[in-house]
């Protein structure tokens, strides 16, 4: 039996990488998924793959940092699937640099995408969630909903060259713990998953790829130094980087009924890397 049958899920940043793997995993377990990405083509590809396996998915294309994004994606989800049961705040990127070379814009960009965007989406989501909870209460039913905020071990342990990203993800941890206390009465479990080194296009060696992200009007370099990648087998107890599918598995754990008494927590999915 699929574990998430008749559940509606939002996954931001799910056109590629970890977000895509999360969307596919939730759909494979029965959830109807809103696939959201800043770029239409990868969002449509993810949704099409879900649909090709008999699942339900719609796309919602947009920049999570826009002021109206939260209200818009919540409204689209309610219209398509009748409500929200799972919300995964995954969209984001990194823009690294040591502090003496980091601009205000560079620092603020991480706050906007990793803190303000989830805040606006969650603020928009609580309205329809509260309405659904009241209906369920009147019917004598108790339904648990799930929020999973995607974090990083950069928040739990810091990481040189990422003062902006580490600060933003640390703020997200505070948001997670606070909403777990505010939303417990609505039976919403609010947790986060902090990833270590997961293999995606954002963790390829930039010396090899020259990858860059087009984020609105910005072009942001993507990737990590090859030397950092080469150290993973020595630094990680499991001896390798994680896969996007393994990352999705950690998120899925916090979306199942077995997590109904877990809230306000950060699950570290890093292969033991600190």
Give this prediction's pTM. Answer: 0.94
Span 119-148, pLDDT tens digits: 999 999 999 999 999 999 999 999 999 999
Per-residue pLDDT at 206: 66
Q: What phi and psi, each to the nearest 5 degrees, are found at residue 256?
A: -90, 165
202-226 in b/e form (b: 16+ CB < 10 A) is bbbbbeeeeeebebeeeebebbbee
Catalytic annotation, pick one of 81, 165, 183, 195: 165
Span 248-264, pLDDT tens digits: 999 999 999 999 999 99
Average pLDDT score over residue span 111-115: 98
Coil, helix or strand at residue 210: coil
Provide the residue ranges of all domains of the chain, joining segments of one domain with +. Answer: 8-200+243-269
- Find out whether 257 and 3 touch, Cβ atoms under 8 Å: yes
> Residue 118: CB partners within 8 Å, gap ≥ 6?
89, 149, 172, 175
Residue 186 known to be catalytic: no
pLDDT averaged over every residue in the chain: 95
**CATH topology classification for 8-200+243-269:** Rossmann fold (3.40.50)
Coil, helix or strand at residue 74: helix
């Amino acid at each position: 039996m699929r574990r998430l049958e008749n559940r509606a899920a939002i996954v931001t940043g799910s056109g590629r990488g970890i977000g895509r793997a999360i969307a596919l995993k939730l759909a494979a377990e029965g959830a109807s998924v809103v696939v959201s990405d800043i770029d239409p083509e990868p969002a449509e590809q993810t949704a099409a793959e879900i649909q090709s396996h008999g699942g339900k998915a719609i796309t919602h294309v947009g920049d999570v940092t826009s002021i109206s994004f939260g209200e818009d994606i919540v409204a689209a989800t309610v219209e398509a699937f009748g409500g929200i049961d799972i919300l995964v705040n995954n969209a984001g990127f990194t823009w690294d640099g040591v502090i003496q070379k980091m601009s205000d814009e560079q620092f603020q960009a991480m706050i906007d995408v990793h803190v303000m965007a989830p805040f606006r989406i969650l603020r928009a989501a609580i309205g329809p969630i509260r309405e659904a909870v009241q209906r369920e209460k009147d019917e004598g039913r108790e339904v648990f909903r799930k929020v999973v905020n995607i974090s990083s071990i950069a928040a739990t342990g810091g990481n040189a060259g990422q003062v902006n990203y580490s600060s933003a993800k640390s703020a997200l941890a505070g948001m997670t713990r606070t909403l777990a206390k505010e939303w417990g009465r609505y039976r919403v479990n609010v947790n986060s998953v902090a990833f270590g080194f997961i293999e995606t296009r954002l963790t390829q060696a930039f010396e090899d790829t020259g990858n860059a992200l087009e984020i609105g009007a910005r072009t942001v370099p993507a990737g990590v130094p090859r030397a950092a990648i080469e150290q993973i087998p020595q630094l990680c107890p499991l001896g390798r980087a994680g896969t996007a599918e393994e990352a999705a598995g950690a998120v899925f754990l916090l979306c199942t009924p077995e997590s109904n008494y877990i809230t306000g927590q950060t699950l570290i999915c890093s292969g033991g890397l600190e």
